[in-house]
């Protein structure tokens, strides 16, 4: 005897009740009480604007060599001085923001997204899938991010796509572990049971009913990874395994400001170091405030 298909309730197709209201409340909380988060967001917006308008803002070609202006002190001609090749430090800082954002966003978005998919899939299927997948994640987690990135970029070679991949891979297990813990609770929610009873396939349940409900931890991990990715890119470039000359990159500028220029041209290291510190600090501030706003237990009354 054929079994009639059970009509699908509207609640199964839609987001869980109150989801939109929770996001609106989190947005209002962030705007109202997270002053430090707003400062971090402002710095991030300025950084994006500088990267987009780099050709307009930069007074010099960041790769143009001028041996007549080598190690020039900060002046009206060169506001932040020049490096050992006579290249304008300010122009290289401006174009270096493009490299930092390209690598940072590429690695963090791919790492957080792939980790979220693996974490939700691991929590949903459970059993042997969860067991084996988590053991693989444990192997990757046993390596510090910078050590694993060093090994991968040494194997893959020096290029921006390879650098993005080398930084992305260590982020996947960290994202998967956090997302899995949230997905385990969502798996037991009534709307997931209703979707199973309605005969929905695994892919539809995971993509439409579980992934949207782990967006809060996903966004928090994404903002945290952005700062880590920028710092990792600068570290790899400083060690000579990241972006190569003559590309403008903050870590590469620090590498050029070697020990022999520490006393004669300190601006070569000071300004790139400040740029790295400020960008990482801004993303961390924004991520912490976003976490507080999205977690109802941490909201101010």
pTM: 0.82
Amino acid 6: pLDDT: 43
| Residue 219 belongs to domain with CATH number | 1.10.3720.10
Q: How many domains, in total, are found in the chain?
A: 1
* CA 196/CA 185 separation, integer angstroms: 16
The answer to whether position 24 is within a domain reads no
Q: Could you tell me which residue, 121 or 292, shows the higher pLDDT? A: 121
The answer to whether position 277 is within a domain reads yes
User: Mean of the per-residue pLDDT values for the chain?
Assistant: 83
Per-residue pLDDT band at 24 (split at 50, 70, 90): low
What are 173-204's pLDDT values in tens digits? 999 999 998 888 888 888 888 888 888 888 88
The answer to whether position 13 is within a domain reads no
Residue 26, pLDDT > 90, answer no
Amino acid 8: pLDDT: 42
The answer to whether position 82 is within a domain reads yes
Amino acid 16: pLDDT: 45
What are 128-181's pLDDT values in tens digits? 988 999 999 999 988 888 889 988 988 888 888 999 999 999 999 999 999 998
The answer to whether position 10 is within a domain reads no
Residue 235, pLDDT > 80, answer yes
Instruction: Give the range of the structural domain holding residue 290, as residue numbers without chain letter.
Output: 42-59+77-298
């Amino acid at each position: 005897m054929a079994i009639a298909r059970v009509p699908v309730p509207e609640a199964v197709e839609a987001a869980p009740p109150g989801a939109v209201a929770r996001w609106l409340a989190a947005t209002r909380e962030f705007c109202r009480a997270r002053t430090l988060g707003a400062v971090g967001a402002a710095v991030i917006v300025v950084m994006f604007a500088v990267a987009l308008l780099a050709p307009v803002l930069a007074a010099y070609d960041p790769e143009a060599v001028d041996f007549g202006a080598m190690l020039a002190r900060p002046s009206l001609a060169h506001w932040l001085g020049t490096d050992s090749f006579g290249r304008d430090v300010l122009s290289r800082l401006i174009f270096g923001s493009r490299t930092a954002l390209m690598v940072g966003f590429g690695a963090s978005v791919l790492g957080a997204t792939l980790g979220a998919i693996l974490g939700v899939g691991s929590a949903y299927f459970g059993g042997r899938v969860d067991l084996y997948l988590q053991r693989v994640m444990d192997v990757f987690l046993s390596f510090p991010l910078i050590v694993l990135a060093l090994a991968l970029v040494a194997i893959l070679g020096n290029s921006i796509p390879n650098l993005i991949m080398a930084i992305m891979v260590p982020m996947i297990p960290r994202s998967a572990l956090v997302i899995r813990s949230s997905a385990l609770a969502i798996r037991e929610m009534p709307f997931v049971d209703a979707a199973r009873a309605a005969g929905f396939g695994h892919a539809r349940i995971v993509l439409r009913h579980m992934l949207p409900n782990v967006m809060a931890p996903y966004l928090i991990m994404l903002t945290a990874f952005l700062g880590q990715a920028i710092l990792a890119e600068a570290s790899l470039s400083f060690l000579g395994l990241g972006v190569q000359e003559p590309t403008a990159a903050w870590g590469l500028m620090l590498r050029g400001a070697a020990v022999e220029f520490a006393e004669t041209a300190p601006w070569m290291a000071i300004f790139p170091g400040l740029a790295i510190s400020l960008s990482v600090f801004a993303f961390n501030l924004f991520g912490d405030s976003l976490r507080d706003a999205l977690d109802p237990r941490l909201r101010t009354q």
